[in-house]
Chain A
Amino acid sequence: MVNKKTFDQQRGRATTTLIDESEQLLRSAPAGVLCLYFAASIPFTAGLVFFWTIMVRSNHSIWFAAAAALVLSLLFVWMKIGQNLYCCRLSQHLTGRRDAVDILRAACVQTAIHPTGILTLPICLAIALPYGWACAFYQHATALNSRASDSKLLLELRQQAMQWPLQNHAVTWLLSPALTIVGVCAVMIMPPLMRLINPATPLALQVATSMIFIVIAVLGSPVGMLMSANFAVTMLLLLSQTGGDSAIASVLLQNGAPSSTFAVIVCCLAYLCMDPIVKACYVLRGHHIRSDVTADDLHTRLRQIRAGS
């Protein structure tokens, strides 16, 4: 027991245990908590699909690009604030505390932190190594509760992101929607890019390159790519049932092949399925990390025992 506790304190809980606990947390939480997540995230994902479609298909899209980008950026901010509230509700459900959430402050903090992720996360992903820590930093920022003080905010987030790196990287590898999106994009973009660089590329080389990129994408994000493949196959089957000449099919298919809008929808669906669990994982991770100092886990356990007796 002593050895196990030491191992938990040094390395964090096993990744499978953490994911299992997150799922339990989500299942036991009221349905309104998950509804809050989707109320925050669906407008942005739907807006992104609409934005992508009109930018690709409309000849005059450049005229209203600024307005469309403004609406999408506001939806992004709305999503991040909503996801923070979702994490606060999950945290409250976990600890049993009913702290009042200062929405205005949460909005300011989330709007200040998350836009930087748009630039830093792709850079970290390109360098590969710091991505896990950067991803954890932004996930813990979403899972921030209202008690965190302004002066120590970034320091606290940095400490949480650096804690238990093995657990963090395993969760990122298994569940990060960003890796899935990169995988789908790589699989989508590489074949046309290769044909654009050298139009006389032999078919065998094109097939081999596509296969290599699919394998790399699956190894990089196994769960996400499996989920994306499921969504892609389901959508293709539905499209084949509705016939190739419907209005939806004309958006999702180009000359019989899936369009980039199709890939964006697949990515958005995979994101909406995986992200609530990822957020729950980081709420739990933050709770376990803070418990070393605040003993919140003991309070939670005592509350559960009291409720059970």
Chain B
Amino acid sequence: MTGQTECRNHPERDVVARCPRCTQALCRECVTEHDNRMLCESCLRTVIQPTAPDSKRKNVAMAAVAAAGCLLVWLFFLATAQILTHAPAAFHRFAPW
């Protein structure tokens, strides 16, 4: 709890908590308990209304990145297969000398 000692919204009041999501310092009036955590108003709104207008677009983007990730892994293992099939037999036998 070092650093800021004044509430973000009420500079004349002392800080009693720091929001764990946005890390802003807040007075007693500006925080509320939710799920064992002291949250500020804006973060509480985000937590209890997770379906923001653009969340669907974000989910589609995340799914697209995940699909690209799958493709990348497949290409990597395909390249590994090519290397393994073309590597000389000596590479598959461990004889230190």
Contacts and interface: CB of A to CB of B under 8 A. Distances in A.
Contact of A260 (B63, B73, B92): B92
A65 B81 contact: yes
B53 to A, nearest CB: 14
A145 B80 CA distance: 32
Interface string B58-76: 1100110111111011101
A52 B84 contact: yes
Contact of A77 (B59, B73, B85, B96): B73
Contact of B96 (A52, A114, A150, A207): A207
Contact of B70 (A115, A196, A207): A115
Interface residues of A, number: 57
Interface residues of B, number: 38
A115 B92 contact: no
Contacts of A257: 93-95
B81 A51 contact: yes
A111 interface: yes
A69 B82 CA distance: 10
B91 A115 contact: no
Contacts of A77: 69-70, 73
A104 to B, nearest CB: 9
Interface of B: 18, 20-21, 23, 36-37, 46, 58-59, 62-63, 65-70, 72-74, 76-78, 80-82, 84-85, 88-97
